[in-house]
Structure 1
C-alpha cells in the first residue's frame, strides 16, 4: 500500500509518499480500503511530536477515514466485507489502507458520500461530546464559539442550533463570518488577529452584548491563546468554558474568575472518552447519524486534495486559512 509517512519530526513538507506492505487485520480488526481521509489540526501537531500521543516512526498521520471493508479478522460481527464505513484512531489515515478496530468502525448511511463521511466523526463527535456531555447545553441558552469557521467550530454551530441554543460565532474575517451565517449562526463576531489588553476588554464586552447582555452560558474555545481570558470574562453566572484546542497557544486563565462567576472550566478530550465509555459513545454516534439523516447537520467539505498533496492540506489548517473541513481523496 501507499502512505504519506512522517520519517522525522517536522512540518507538513517532511511527509513522504512511501510504499509499505499492506497489513493484515488481526482478531477484532478490519482492513479498510480508504476512499477519503479527514484532515484535522491534531495532524499538524503529531508530525512535529507536539501531540498527546507520539507513534513510533515512520507513521502516517490521519485520525479518520471513510472507505470499504475489504478484509476481516476473527471475531468481527458488526461489519462485513463490502460495507461502507468510517473509522478512526490516533494515526494511519493518510494511506490507501487502514487497519481499524471493528468495535470502533461504523457503517455509514447509503446516501452519505465518502468525503462527507471522512469529515464527519472527529468534528461532530468532538463537538457533540463537548456540548451535550461536558457543557450540558440547554435549549434557550447562549453559546459563543471561538474559531467557529474551522472543522469543530462549524460542527458546534450546527449542533448548538440542533440543541436549541442561541449561537454566536467568533471568527477572524468577513469571509468566515458569512460562512458561519450560512451554517445557521444567529450572530457573528469578528475578532482581531492580535489582542492587547484594551482589545481583550472590548472583545469581552462584545461577546456579552451579542449573547444577550448577561454573557454566554457556554463558551466553546477551539482557539486558545490571548482569546481565552476575555471569553472566560464574558461568561454568565455559572457559565461553562469548554477547552477544545489551542492553535493560538496554551492560555493562562486567572482562576479568580471562576470564583467570581461561579463558572466551570471544562476539558474536552473526545478521543479518550470514546475509549473509556464506548457504550455512551455509541449512543452519541447514533444521535449524530440521526441528525445527519434528518438534515440538522451536514459536513461542509470546502477543500479536497489527492493523497500525495497531504502537505498542502495540512498547511491550510496550520496557517488557520481553512473553513469547514479539509479532506484527502484517496484513489
Structure 2
C-alpha cells in the first residue's frame, strides 16, 4: 500500500510517499480502507517534533480518517467488513489502509460522504465538548469565536448558534467573516484591521462576552480574555497562531473568570460514554440538515505535503481533506 511517511522531523516538504506493508489488525482492532483523511493543525506539529505526544520515527501522520472496514481482528464485536466508519487514528491516517482500535471508530450516517466524515469528528467533537461540557454554554449567552473560519472555529460558530447563543466571529479577513456569518455568526470582528478588545466592547455595550473559544492563542489570547464579562469562561483549544501565550493571573481574579483547557482527545479516553453521546447528537444534527460542514479543499494522497502546508500557512477555511483517489 501507499503511505505518506515522516522519516525525519521537519517541514511537510520532507514527507515521502512510500510503499509500505499492509497492516494486519490485532485483537480488538479493525483495518480501514481510507477514502478520505482530515488534515489538522496538529499534523504539522507532529512532523516537526513539536507536539505533546510524539511517535517514534519513521511514522505516517494523519489523525482522522473515513472509509470502509476491510478486515477485523479477533474480539471485534462492534463492526464488520464493509461498514462505513470514521476513526481517530492519532497517527497513520495518510495511508491507503490503517489499523485502529475499535473504541476509536464510529459508524457514520449513510447520508454522510466520506470527505465530510473525514473532517467531521475532531473539529465538531472539539467545539461541542468545549461549549457543552467545559463552558456549560446556556441559551442567551454571548460567545466570541477566534479563528472563526478555521476547522474548529467554524464548527463552534455553528454549534454555539444552534445552542441558542449570540455569536461574535473574529477572523483575519472579510471573506472569512462572510463565511462565518453564512453559518450563523451574528457579528464579525476583523482582528487584522480592528482592535479586538474595543470592537467586542462596542458590540456588547461594555458588558463583555460570556465565553471565548480560542484555537489561536498567540497575541490574541490576552486581548480575548479581556473581552470576558463577569463569570466568563475562556476556552483554550490550541495555538494555531504559533506561540503559547502567557496570561496575567490578575485578570481571572478581577473578572471572576476562568481559563479552561479543552483537550478533546483526552476527553474521549476519560469519558467515553459522554463522547459517544456528543457524537450521536452531532450526527443527528447533520442528518437533520442543522449542520453544514464546509470542506474547502481536497488534495490527493500524493499531495499530502501540500495539504499540510496549506493548513500551516493558515490558508484553510473550514476543513481540508486528503482523498485516496
Q: TM-score scaled to structure 1, two decimals?
A: 0.96
Question: Structure 2: how far apart are the matches of 1:213 and 1:294?
Answer: 37
Number of residue pairs the alignment of both structures matches:
324
Whether 1:235 and 2:228 are equivalent positions in the alignment is: yes
Question: Structure 1: how far apart are the matches of 2:201 and 2:213?
Answer: 14
Match of 1:263 among 245, 257, 267: 257
| 1:37–1:118 contact (8 Å) kept in structure 2 | yes
What is the match of residue 173 of structure 1?
173
Report Cα offsets for 1:247-267 as digits up to 9, x if no partner: 221111101000110000000
After TM superposition, the structure 1 stretch with the greater mean CA deviation from structure 2, 245-254 or 120-129, is 245-254
Match of 1:224 among 217, 232, 235: 217
Whether 1:96 and 2:96 are equivalent positions in the alignment is: yes
What is the match of residue 106 of structure 1?
106
Question: Structure 2: how far apart are the matches of 1:171 and 1:130?
Answer: 19
Question: Structure 2: how far apart are the matches of 1:312 and 1:144?
Answer: 31
After TM superposition, the structure 1 stretch with the greater mean CA deviation from structure 2, 17-26 or 211-220, is 211-220
Question: Structure 1: how far apart are the matches of 2:224 and 2:196?
Answer: 8
Question: Structure 1: how far apart are the matches of 2:270 and 2:78?
Answer: 20
What is the match of residue 150 of structure 1?
150
What is the match of residue 24 of structure 2?
24
Equivalent positions of 1:2-81 (< 5 A) are 2-81=2-81
Equivalent positions of 1:284-299 (< 5 A) are 284-299=278-293
Question: Structure 2: how far apart are the matches of 1:306 and 1:271?
Answer: 26
What is the match of residue 275 of structure 1?
269
Q: TM-score scaled to structure 2, two decimals?
A: 0.98
| 1:131–1:160 contact (8 Å) kept in structure 2 | yes
| 1:217–1:235 contact (8 Å) kept in structure 2 | yes
SS at match of 1:295: coil
SS at match of 2:219: helix
Task: Give structure 2 stretches of 5+ with no counterpart.
Answer: none
What is the CA distance between 1:316 and its match in structure 2?
1.2
Whether 1:124 and 2:124 are equivalent positions in the alignment is: yes
| 2:65–2:89 contact (8 Å) kept in structure 1 | no
Report Cα offsets for 1:250-290 as digits up to 9, x if no partner: 11110100011000000010001111111111111111111
Match of 2:321 among 279, 302, 327: 327
What is the match of residue 188 of structure 1?
188
After TM superposition, the structure 1 stretch with the greater mean CA deviation from structure 2, 258-267 or 243-252, is 243-252
SS at match of 1:50: coil
SS at match of 1:225: coil
Task: Give structure 1 stretches of 5+ with no counterpart.
Answer: 194-198
Report Cα offsets for 1:47-81 as digits up to 9, x if no partner: 00101111011111110000000000111111110
What is the match of residue 196 of structure 1?
none
Report Cα offsets for 1:109-146 as digits up to 9, x if no partner: 11110000001000001101110010111100000011
